[in-house]
Every structure is written in structure tokens, then in C-alpha cells.
Structure 1
Amino acid sequence: MVVAQYKLTSFDIDMSDKIIPLDCDDVVLLGNDTFKASRLKELVDKQIRQRLHRCVYESNSLEPGISIFELFNLISLSEHHIKLREIQYKYVINCQVLRIGSQGWQKGKLNIEVCILSLDPNLNQIYLEFYPEEAIEYDPIFDDICKIIAEN
């Protein structure tokens, strides 16, 4: 399988064990706008599909153009043709996330990965992962405190 990858970021993420996959009900704050993770996935998918299906026209031809998706779907190298089965895009952006059961907003980076399948572009896959700036430390004493409060 041949994969094309395009990275739209000028900074790298520390790929440590701090990766948190976002749940559909987690809330993401991008600038002044908030989105449920499920809605953010829908909006990204819609934008990607709209842009990939735009047509590209040759300036010296009156022929109808091909879509951007079709343009990148087949790569010709001399006599060899490579048909891409999947194209991946990766976006990284600063954000804040409010996760179910958390104590509040947490700053970090949002990694949005889009996988476009050439066989059926309606089955695009979108993954949202959060990389917190600070590691979340779990202290088991909080469980004991919660039990004491619940008993009283």
C-alpha cells in the first residue's frame, strides 16, 4: 500500500506516552470556538471532502477538469503508474480540552489525522488525539477521600 502524507505544521509533538484519544463527548476549544469532538470530526470531514472534489482546470484547455482527489489518486512515473489507495493528512494545532470527568480545561496540542480512502472517499477516517502540556498525575489518595465523603 502506498501512502501519501502531507504535514501542515511547523512544530513537532513530543510523541511520548501522553497521547489521549478524544471521546465523542469531549470538548475542544480552538481559539474562541468550542466543539464536541464528534462535531469537530464531522466538520473536518465535510471540509476535506468539499475541497478534494473541487475541479482543477488546465488554463490552455476547454476540457472539464478533474477533481483534486483524482489528481492525487494516480501518480505517473515515466511508464509506471502508482494508484494510491489512501492519502493521509496530519494537522497539529494548539487547543484546550475539557474531558468527561476531568477537573477543568487542559492546554495542549490537538493532532487531527485524516485518512482518505481512494476506494470510497465517503469512508474517510478522522482521528483526534490530544497531547497535554503537563502530564496528568493520578493520586490514589483521591479515591480514599471520595469514599470518606460518600460515607458521610
Structure 2
Amino acid sequence: MTTRINMNKICQLLDFDADVLLFNKDTYIVSRFKELISENFIHKFYKKTDNTNITVSGIFQNVCINEVNFQAEDITWQSSSEGINCKLLKVGSTNWQAGKLRIKVLTKIISPSTYKESIKLNITVVLEFYPNNPNEPESPLDDIRKMIQAT
């Protein structure tokens, strides 16, 4: 797990797939939660709207602003800055840690080389966890380890 400081709060990037997230009564391991987000995103991105042939991916293929055409290739989507209330159980820890989860979905749109090919989408899901009490030790043994190292 990578830790960084963001917006005056400590952010833990959830990059260890076996950690567990708890939302009210629902639990997910990090890898499965990322997979579900990715699958949902792909489904919505390629979903046809109404009875037309327009897809979300087609909308972003050619964007025109003030008669200037450009192709969208990279788009970052993120959840609200407030985050989603959840708890995190890290592998090796004995306690749940309460905090907020922020989700970022990085999309790379790969334009087709011919008109017969469809747009391809590469998705990366990044989960940022902001603990409510970042000063809590990750393990009850952390305090003992620090005392031993100090002597």
C-alpha cells in the first residue's frame, strides 16, 4: 500500500488486492471491487442510448468545440472529493479502519485504425483511502516495535 499526502490528509493508495473494503453491510476484496467498477464502466461506456447507434464511446471519438475538432484519448473520472464512507481491513491487521474512499477511473480511448474497427477502451481503477484517524497505528504491535527500536 502506497501512502501519500493529498489535500492536507493522508491518502493510502489501495494497491494490495487482498485488502478488504466494507460498505455498510457489503464487503469486497480490493481486486474484486476494482473489477466491478471496471466492468460497470465498460458496460456504460459502450451502451447504446435510446434506439440510436450513438454510444458514449462514439460521443468522445470526435469532440468539436467552436469548430475545432479533436479526439479524446485520455479521460479521468473521479468520485466526489468528499469520498464514500467505508472501512478498510488490511491484510495482517486485526482492526477495521474507518475512513473515506475516493475512486478514480483512468480511461484511455484507442481510436480504430480503420472504420470497420470499433473504439477500444483501456481502464485503470485507482482507489484512494483517507482514514478518519490517520494517527492510529496500523497494528497494535506498532507501538511496542517503536519502543524497542528507541532503546
> Per the shorter chain, which TM-score range?
0.7 to 0.9
Q: Which runs of 5+ in 1 are unaligned?
A: 1-13, 59-63, 148-152
Per the normalisation by structure 1, the TM-score is 0.74
| Residue 67 (structure 2) aligns with | 79
> How far off is 1:57 after superposition?
4.5
Q: Which runs of 5+ in 2 are unaligned?
A: 1-5, 111-119
In 2: Cα distance, 1:45 partner to 1:95 partner: 19
Give CA-to-partner distance per residue, 1:16-39, whole Å, 9 cap, x none.
351111111110011210000000
Does the residue aligned with 2:94 lie in a helix, a strand or coil?
A: coil
From 24, 28, 40, the counterpart of 2:17: 24
Matched, 1:15 2:7: yes
Give CA-to-partner distance per residue, 1:5-26, whole Å, 9 cap, x none.
xxxxxxxxx7235111111111
Mean CA deviation greater in 133-142 or 86-95: 133-142
Contact 2:9 2:130 in 1 (8 A): no
In 2: Cα distance, 1:141 partner to 1:42 partner: 36
Aligned residues: 128
Matched, 1:143 2:135: no
Identity between Structure 1 and Structure 2 (%) = 27
Matched, 1:51 2:47: no
Q: What RMSD in Å do the two structures reach over aligned CA positions?
A: 2.4
- The 5-angstrom pairing of residues 53-68 of structure 1 reads 53-57=46-50, 64-68=52-56
CA separation of 1:83 and 1:144: change in aligned 2, threshold 3 A: closer
Structure with higher RCO (Cα < 8 A, 6+ apart): 1
